[in-house]
């Protein structure tokens, strides 16, 4: 299983764009990159998943360079409610494979 490394914490202000980078140097060919958000006392919530280049949905964008050894989650115009822990995971996208969580990034959005 590919190990991931993220910044422990980040601070931002409302309305700013936040970029959280994750390193996964030993990612395998079959691995996908998935990001989750977790609020206190709740289960993680899926944000976005990608394999290469750029993926965008209604809440975030995911940028993955050609070597796939890192990825960047981009949250546009954050609000106070985006204060949470964000986890980057590398998972084989064939189901049934366990998901190991790294330490995550604690994002604190200030007014």
Partner 1 sequence: GAVVSQHPSWVICKSGTSVKIECRSLDFQATTMFWYRQFPKQSLMLMATSNEGSKATYEQGVEKDKFLINHASLTLSTLTVTSAHPEDSSFYICSAREGGGNYGYTFGSGTRLTVV
Interface positions with partner 1 (CB under 8 A):
34, 36, 41-46, 49, 87, 89, 91, 93, 95-96, 98-104
Instruction: Extract the tokens encoding 3.
Output: 């190990």
Sign of the torsion formed by the C-alpha atoms of 70, 68, 4 and 93: positive
Q: How far is the CB of 95 from partner 1 (least distance, A)?
A: 5
Q: How far is the CB of 53 from partner 1 (least distance, A)?
A: 15
Whichever of 101 and 108 has its CB closer to partner 1, that residue is 101
């Amino acid at each position: 299983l590919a190990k991931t490394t993220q910044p422990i914490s980040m601070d931002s202000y409302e309305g700013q764009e936040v970029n959280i980078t994750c390193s996964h140097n030993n990612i395998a060919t079959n691995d996908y990159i998935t990001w989750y958000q977790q609020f206190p006392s709740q289960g993680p919530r899926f944000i976005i998943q990608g394999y290469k280049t750029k993926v965008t949905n209604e809440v975030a964008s995911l940028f993955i360079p050609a070597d796939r050894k890192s990825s960047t989650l981009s949250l546009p115009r954050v609000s106070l409610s985006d204060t949470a822990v964000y986890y980057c995971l590398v998972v084989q996208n064939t189901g049934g494979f366990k998901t190991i969580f790294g330490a995550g990034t604690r994002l604190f959005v200030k007014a």
